[in-house]
Amino acid sequence: MALLEVRDLTVVFQRKGEEPFRAVDGVSFDVEPGQTVGLVGESGCGKSVTSLAIMGLLPKRGAKISGTVKYDGTDLLKLSDKEMRDRRGRDLGMVFQDPLSSLNPVVPIGLQVTEVLERHRGLSRKEAMIEAKNLLDKVGIPDPNRRLKEYPHQLSGGMRQRALIAIALACRPKLLIADEPTTALDVTIQAQILSVMKELVQDLGTALVMITHDLGVVAGLCDEVNVLYGGKVVEKAMRHKLFAEPRHPYTHGLLASIPRLDAAPGEKLTPIKGSVADNIPWEHGCAFAPRCPNALDVCVQVTPPEEDQLGRLLRCHNPVVPGTPAAEEVPV
């Protein structure tokens, strides 16, 4: 049994006087200890809502959550608020995109780390201070003794993100959810943070759910990749398989549309047409169909089912034949 089993997770936002909005629509995935699973997609694909739903951080009112999120056999969605609070920080750690707004600005970093240690691991103040120092050291913060006394605004963005990871790791959670942890950082700092996370997974056997829009980050870090579009997983495969042979036209198009550092000179980019505003609802076919170069008439009539193709899950009526170059839209 996997450490985390997400089955058919669906989140529907209902605002008064508006159509209900399915932000996440039947997402399923497993995470094993020591494994990194990536959720990739652009803004509005439901990747962040998925992570918030797993952590029980969505507002009770307005968001209807269904499906199951089994952590070590218990369904997190069925736990009370108090039980969930106990789990967060102890079993489940989370790292957010914006480290400044996720840290308390008026409390020194040290206290924010020791607080978690005292609360969840029952350490004394003294033990907690020593442990906090070790944690900061582990995530690569120089001169931790001094940093412990400083406030978040005195740290740089990269250091703040490290501090946030240190807090998330304070209780040695078995599962860490990282929501765009490096998006706000520069690439050289991103490389530092990613290497810290990689070490954690390798050395401590932490299970990591990596949420990002950056396919490059996914390619280097994740074992299994889930590509999300319009709230559904449209393609799921191990990373080598996915990047070598993207089958869903969205995955395929995404890879063809990003400039690669190692591309040959003069290579053209092939953009995906339109924007997410052009999506159609999943009930009426495939959300991606209006933007899809491979779309057939059936794509706007029947919701494509999820099919298992030799260890790859695919939700598409007309997948890309391996080896096809990315095609610009054929004029209709």
Partner 1 sequence: MSETLVSVQDMKVHFPIKRGVFIDRTVGYVYAVDGVDLEIKRGETYGLVGESGCGKSTLGRAMLRLNEPTAGKMVFDGQDFSALKGEELRKMRRRIQMVFQDPLSSLDPRQSVESILVEGLRAHDLDKGKESTSKRLRELLSAVGLPSTALRKYPHEFSGGQRQRIGIARALALEPDLIVADEPVSALDVSVQAQVVNLMEELQEQFGLTYLVIAHDLAVVKHISDRVGVMYLGGLVEEASAEDLYAEPLHPYTRALLSAIPVPDPVVEDRRERILLAGDLPSPANPPTGCRFHTRCPWRQASRCDTERPVLRELKPGHKVACHYAEQIRSGEIQPHEVKPILVEEGDGLSPDVPLVGPASVTEALNP
Partner 2 sequence: MVLGLSSKKEKIDGVAESAGVSLAASAWKRLRRSPVFLTGAVIIGLFIVVSVLSPWLAPHNPSEPMLIDQVVKARNEIPPAQPGHPLGGDLQGRDFLSRLLVGSQQTLIVGVGATLIGLAGGLFLGTLAGALGGWVDSVVMRLVDVMLSLPSLLLAFSIAAMFAKPSQFTVILAVAIVQIPVFARLLRGSMLAQRHSDHVLAATALGVKKGAIVFRHMLPNSLSPVIVQSTLVLATAIIEAAALSFLGLGNPDDRIPEWGQMLGDVQNVFDTHPHLAAYPAICIIIVALGFTLMGETLREALDPKNRR
Which residue lies nearer to partner 1 by CB, 134 or 154?
154
In angstroms, give the least distance from the CB of 160 to partner 1. 9
**Could you tell me the CA-to-CA distances from 171 to 92, 104, 131 in Å, in that order?**
9, 19, 10
Query: Where on the chain is the footprint of partner 2 (CB under 8 A)?
Result: 273-275, 278, 280, 284, 289-291, 295-297, 299-301, 329, 332
In angstroms, give the least distance from the CB of 260 to partner 2. 25
In angstroms, give the least distance from the CB of 230 to partner 2. 14
> Which option in partner 1, partner 2, none does residue 295 bind, with CB closer than 5 to 8 A by kind?
partner 2
In angstroms, give the least distance from the CB of 149 to partner 2. 34
Query: Where on the chain is the footprint of partner 1 (CB under 8 A)?
Result: 42-43, 140, 142-143, 146, 153-159, 184, 186-192, 194-195, 213-220, 239-240, 243-244, 253-255, 257-263, 265, 267-273, 275-277
Per residue, the 3-state secondary structure of the chain, as one string, reads CCCEEEEEEEEEECCCCCCCEEEEEEEEEEECCCCEEEEECCCCCCHHHHHHHHCCCCCCCCEEEEEEEEECCEEHHHCCHHHHHHHHHHCEEEECCCHHHHCCCCCCHHHHHHHHHHHHHCCCHHHHHHHHHHHHHHCCCCCHHHHCCCCHHHCCHHHHHHHHHHHHHCCCCCEEEEECCCCCCCHHHHHHHHHHHHHHHHHHCCEEEEEECCHHHHHHHCCEEEEEECCEEEEEEEHHHHHHCCCCHHHHHHHHHCCCCCCCCCCCCCCCCCCHHHCCCHHHCCCCHHHCCCCCHHHHCCCCCCEECCCCEECCCCCCCCCCCCCCCCCC
Which residue lies nearer to partner 1 by CB, 1 or 187?
187
Which residue lies nearer to partner 1 by CB, 129 or 292?
292
Which residue lies nearer to partner 1 by CB, 10 or 212?
212
> Which option in partner 1, partner 2, none does residue 258 bind, with CB closer than 5 to 8 A by kind?
partner 1
> Which option in partner 2, partner 1, none does residue 284 bind, with CB closer than 5 to 8 A by kind?
partner 2
> Which option in partner 2, partner 1, none does residue 296 bind, with CB closer than 5 to 8 A by kind?
partner 2
> Which option in partner 2, partner 1, none does residue 157 bind, with CB closer than 5 to 8 A by kind?
partner 1
> Which option in partner 2, partner 1, none does residue 307 bind, with CB closer than 5 to 8 A by kind?
none
Rg of the chain over Cα atoms, rounded to whole angstroms, equals 21
In angstroms, give the least distance from the CB of 283 to partner 1. 23
> Which option in partner 2, partner 1, none does residue 300 bind, with CB closer than 5 to 8 A by kind?
partner 2
Which residue lies nearer to partner 1 by CB, 84 or 255?
255
Q: CA torsion sign, 216 to 221 to 225 to 229?
A: negative
Which residue lies nearer to partner 2 by CB, 274 or 322?
274
> Which option in partner 1, partner 2, none does residue 189 bind, with CB closer than 5 to 8 A by kind?
partner 1
In angstroms, give the least distance from the CB of 266 to partner 1. 10
**Could you tell me the CA-to-CA distances from 141 to 48, 115, 136, 146, 158 in Å, in that order?**
27, 19, 5, 10, 9
